[in-house]
Amino acid sequence: MAEPLCERAPAKINLDLLVTARRPDGYHELDSLVVFAEAGDALRLEEGPGLRLVVEGPFAADVPAGGDNLVLRAARTLERHLGRDLPASAILSKRLPAASGIGGGSSDAAAMLRGLARLHRLDVPASGLAALALELGADVPVCLAARPMRMRGIGERLEPLSGLPDLPLVLANPRRPVPTKAVFARMGAPGRGRPRPALPAGATLPDLAAWLAASVNDLEAPALAIEPAIGEVLVALRRLEGCLLARMSGSGATCFGLFSDKNAAEAAARALAAARPDWWSIATTARGCP
Ligand X SMILES: C[C@@](CO)(OP(=O)(O)O)[C@H](O)COP(=O)(O)OP(=O)(O)OC[C@H]1O[C@@H](n2ccc(N)nc2=O)[C@H](O)[C@@H]1O
Strands of the chain, DSSP E: 5-22, 28-46, 51-56, 88-93, 149-153, 157-160, 167-173, 243-248, 255-259, 280-286
Residues within the interface to ligand ADP (CB under 6 A) = 63-64, 68-71, 98-106, 108, 180, 250-251
Tell me the C-alpha to C-alpha distance, in Å, between residue 165 and each of 37, 117, 140, 251: 13, 30, 24, 24
d(CA 10, CA 40): 4
Closest approach of Cβ 47 to ligand X, in Å?
29
- 32 has binding-site annotation: no
- 11 has binding-site annotation: no
Which is the catalytic residue, given 12, 41, 108, 218?
12
CB of 72 within 8 A of CB of 52? Answer: no
Q: Please confirm, yes or no, whether 262 is among the known catalytic residues.
A: no
- 102 has binding-site annotation: yes
Closest approach of Cβ 9 to ligand ADP, in Å?
8
Q: Which helix (H) or strand (E) holds 106?
A: helix 104-119
Residue of 112, 152, 103 whose CA lies nearest to 132:
112
Closest approach of Cβ 206 to ligand X, in Å?
26
Q: Which is nearer to ligand X, 93 or 254 (CB)?
A: 254
* Helix, strand, or coil (residue 35): strand
Out of ligand X, ligand ADP, none, which partner does residue 69 contact, by CB within 5 to 8 A per kind?
A: ligand ADP
CB atoms closer than 10 angstroms to residue 133: 27
Q: Please confirm, yes or no, whether 31 is among the known catalytic residues.
A: no
Residues within the interface to ligand X (CB under 6 A) = 14, 17, 26-28, 30, 32, 101-103, 106, 137-140, 154-155, 180-181, 184, 250-251
Which is the catalytic residue, given 31, 108, 139, 218?
139
In the annotated binding site for ATP, the residues are 97-107
Catalytic residues: 12, 139
